[in-house]
Chain A
Amino acid sequence: METIVFSLLNGIIYGLLLFMLSSGLTLIFSMMGILNFAHASFYMLGAYFAYSIGSVTGFWVALFLAPVLVGVAGAAVERFGLRRLHAEGHVAELLFTFGLAYIIEEIVKIVWGKIAVPYKVPAALDFPLFELFGSQYPAYRIFMLVVSLAMLFALWYLLKRTRIGLIIQAALTHPNMVAHLGHNVQRIFMLVFAAGCALAGLAGVIGGNYLVTEPSMAFTIGPIVFVVVVVGGMGSLEGAFIASLLIGIMQTFAISVDATFSDLFGWLGLSASSELGGISIPSLAPTLPYLLLVLMLMFRPRGLMGAREF
């Protein structure tokens, strides 16, 4: 019972973090057809910016300033890089963002060093909030939960209840019509790209000190975010939400299960001493998202909630 509750809680928090990353990616992807390979690099930039700004001004200023800076960087990337490549097709854009991910990682290594920086949880939130089954639960994780849910609500409100959201939704499916109505679609694209990057930056700010802030963090989480987008379905924020939670919970549960293949499939005659039987479930946890991705693309290519195959 204890493990289940804790895994569920941690899984939801991890899943919400994934959603914060993937929501921006999904929006950008469905709007411009660009699968931004460097999206997780903006997440990393968010964490590092927050570390640097936070060491001067404290965490709370960084919480607002770092995502804005990341958003500005994203807008610049769209304006001066991706826009030039739009006519070349999606593969060229994918290659561009792939190269960008390399460059951002190297720049981070030069500016902040090759090892992890001591980006810590702010002292104001560094205390156990409540006690459950005799173990303490850190307040910062609940803070992450609150920030993620606030972001989720804000995004939902912006997209579904405001005029801006209406135009963005229209530009998703009918960019030419929106342009004919007098909206600057290129600028909408740039703003969505910037907003998506800023969301990734925010995820970096609150996730960097929860996980670890190091130059390889982008390449660790980046592919998982792709998995979320593909599993959730093209252009579907609801799908991305479900997929994020699914993967978050699945991974935390797999880590906490203390079993091997032989325990699970012993009734098939798999012995614990054989190589296959000796594989433990926690060691498989990192591969689960990719397994899900491959299965999904093979059997249901439009994803959980996607309206069309992509």
Chain B
Amino acid sequence: MNQQGTVLDTVSDLGPSRRAKFTRRVLPFIIMAVLLIVIPMLGPSRTALSLLNAIGINIVFALSFNILLGQTGLLSFGHAVYFGLGGYTAMHAMNWIEYADGGFWGSYPMFALPLVGFAGGAFAGALIGWPSCRRAGIPFSMISLGIAELVAATGLIFVSFFGGEEGITGDRMNGVEMFGLNLGQVHQVYWFIAFWTFVGTVAMYAFTRTPLGRLTQAVRDNPQRVEFVGYDPQQVRYLAFIASGGFAGLAGGMSAVNYEIFTPEALSLAPSGLVILMAYIGGIRYFAGPILGAILLTYMQTNLSDFSEAWLLYLGLLFIAMVLFAPGGLAGVVIDVTNRLGKPGAVQQFVKGLVAVATGMIAFFGVVILIEIAVRLTNGHGEVFQPFGIGLPSTSLMSWAIGVCLVAIGVFGLKFTTKQVGER
């Protein structure tokens, strides 16, 4: 009896301490909440605020996607279907609120519209999920692709629900006000987005902590064993699929309020592809990964596209580089660096890492030069690429030689330095 007690004690000691639990599970959310509250106090411009709103929507969308890819191991090529269907449901609800004559929609606050989106996305997930979740892996990906194409095509056929190519529009300044927000100005919308981003993030994290959330990871890693223990992997996948669809719908509802318009393009393959890039570049193995990815890619999407026509090419290269060299994504890189910092010989490693990064940057500059002069050679505007005021005319052989040389130096240097870091 006594012995059993000590065994149990040691087992409980193996779990994280209260402090570790607090710093790992609660503190990040407190920091997030503080950040969300502090940002508007810095007096951001209207453009900055609308960028932040777009980021918030994408954070929820990318996190919902990661319930499938990162947690359950299901690669979906059509996740925008749930975003779009949830968003369309919310958009219709927005119009019902506007023309409501009392009744349920008459007293429904516009602020809670994302909940309608959640319901719409979860319902779509429940309908489509069952046949899709029979198998994981490539069959699942293929079904998701087929369904995405089907839904995108129906989006243009059924005009009464999807509104044809123009989509459907609404007005968010209706219905009952909540928290004194009439959602008129962009800073009011910011509070709306911030609230739902926070709620969505906390809810999705809470989902990973539930027994179901734990089981999804087991299904990802070893479905046979899960079946052996007595759970049905298809059912677990299905439930995760519904949850993921619901949260994607939540993001759709946020988007409906933010933009006040939804077009069938929101259902198409392009946003589905973008969310894959966001989640993967951020890091699908960590809960916070997709958040990083959503922030980076939304920023790139709005700002980099002003600088370069070829921004999608940079995005693709970044994605491929991540798949090949850093499968943990940005979050993985950050965690790897912080883990190594505390170890002996950290300074030495850090210096070597810096050298590797520097050589990597040389190669990157070379690639940028090559891409940019190629763009300017073929687009026919006749501009000259001028990094740091140095003119690199596209027609001169010299510019091409510089680009190729930089790439060669960088790649060679990278091979040399990474070898050393690996050997330690």
Mark A residues whose CB is within 8 Å of B. 33, 35, 81, 84-85, 88, 90-92, 94-96, 98-100, 102-103, 106-107, 110-113, 219, 223, 226-227, 230, 275, 279, 283-284, 286-287, 290-291, 293-294, 297-298, 301, 309-310
Known contacts A275-B158, A286-B153, A287-B154: does B273 contact A98 (CB below 8 Å)?
yes
The answer for the CA separation of A95 and B322 in the assembled complex, in Å, is 10
Contact B139–A294 (Cβ < 8 Å): no
Are B157's CB and A283's CB within 8 A?
yes
Which residues does chain B contribute within 8 Å of A310, judged by CB atoms? Answer: 138-139
Secondary structure type dominating chain A contacts? helix
Bound CA–CA A310/B134 (angstroms): 12
A96 touches B374 (CB 8 A): no
Taking a contact as CB atoms under 8 Å apart, the answer to whether A275 and B319 are in contact is: no
With a CB–CB cut-off of 8 A, which chain A residues contact B146?
A: 223, 227, 290, 293-294, 297
Is B351 in the interface zone, CB < 8 Å from A? no
Contact with A along B150-181 (1 / 0, CB 8 A): 10011001111000000000000000000000
Residue in contact with A106 in the complex, picked from B75, B145, B149, B316, CB distance below 8 Å: B316
Chain B residues with Cβ under 8 A from A95's Cβ?
75, 276, 280, 319, 323
Q: CA separation between A275 and B159, bound complex, in Å?
A: 8
Chain B interface size band reads: 35 or more
Q: In whole angstroms, what is the CA distance A298 to B150 when docked?
A: 15
Whether A99 and B378, one on each chain, are in contact in the complex, defined by CB atoms closer than 8 angstroms, is: no
Select A90's contact among B138, B280, B374, B379, beta carbons within 8 Å.
Answer: B138
Q: Is B399 an interface residue (CB 8 A)?
A: no
Q: Which of B188-196, B307-315, B382-390 contacts A (4 or more CB under 8 A)?
A: B307-315
User: Does B349 sit at the interface, judged by CB under 8 A?
Assistant: no
> In the complex, which residues 93-140 of chain B have their Cβ closer than 8 Å to any Cβ of chain A?
131, 134-135, 137-139
The smallest C-beta distance from B69 to any residue of chain A, in angstroms, reads 8
- Cβ-based interface call for B327 (8 A): yes
| Cα-based distance from A245 to B375 in the complex (angstroms) | 40
Q: Are B160 and A230 in contact (CB under 8 A)?
A: no
B327 contacts which of A92, A287, A297 (Cβ < 8 Å)? A92
Q: How far is the CA of A284 from the CA of B139 in the complex (A)?
A: 24
Of A91, A112, A275, A297, which one neighbours B143 at CB under 8 angstroms?
Answer: A297
Our pick among A102, A107, A226 for the contact of B145 (Cβ within 8 Å) is A226
| Docked-complex contact A223 and B317, CB < 8 angstroms | no
- For residue B149, which residues in chain A have a CB less than 8 angstroms away from its CB? 223, 287, 290
CA distance A50 to B131 in the complex (A): 42
Q: Is B51 an interface residue when CB atoms closer than 8 A count as contact?
A: no
Nearest Cβ distance between residue B328 and chain A, in whole angstroms?
12
> Is A90 touching B137 in the complex (CB atoms < 8 A)?
yes
* Interface check B409, CB cutoff 8 A: no
A-B CB contact pairs (8 Å), 29 listed: A33-B138, A35-B141, A84-B324, A91-B73, A92-B327, A94-B138, A98-B273, A99-B277, A99-B319, A99-B323, A103-B316, A106-B310, A107-B313, A110-B309, A110-B378, A111-B374, A111-B378, A113-B379, A223-B145, A223-B149, A230-B139, A275-B159, A287-B153, A290-B149, A290-B150, A293-B143, A294-B131, A297-B146, A301-B139
